[in-house]
Structure 1
């Protein structure tokens, strides 16, 4: 499935979790905005997807196994001040993510975050203040 965008997800209120396999293997030429209030991204939510921009909320706390495995993404925006806990395994295995934007004061926290796969340490971080809608 190919979509030009799925920014409408941002209008869904009351969500606390994006369920397993929700965007698995999709192509979205625009952006996916996960709404504020979401605390958990389920198993393999974006696995094998091709998405230009994924914008994650400040409320995000957990990323489950294989969530971003083998994804192709130009910009991953993570608005959470603390790095979400990677829960499971292979959360970012073989992911191709060009830039990861995080809160300016949190770059050090992300670079030093402890996770079994060492995924947070190996990202190309940029300050959120430099992010412009693409």
Structure 2
């Protein structure tokens, strides 16, 4: 009986060591989501965003900026393996409406959506420091 448990443990270890890991949502090594959109600052009082597309193989991406009502402000096709592109948005065109950035990968047949929400706030701060 003891030999059977050792054989069973050895089989499980062997199976785990030589099996391929399958991830949920088809996120294998070639199908992983490789996009990153971040706010990098303002230029001439307009927001600037940076989109990074990192992939080991060349892919074709379609990038679309839409407002919450479906109006398209910008669309472009990008092709390459590792790409970085900055976008400066004219805030007067969309005001305070939420924007959606849709990034579609042609090879992976995947879509990622980012939401951009702007808010304005006024911060007043009072600081007291000991001088002596």
- TM-score, normalised to structure 2, is 0.22
Which has the larger Rg? 2
- Larger strand percent: 2
- TM-score, normalised to structure 1, is 0.22
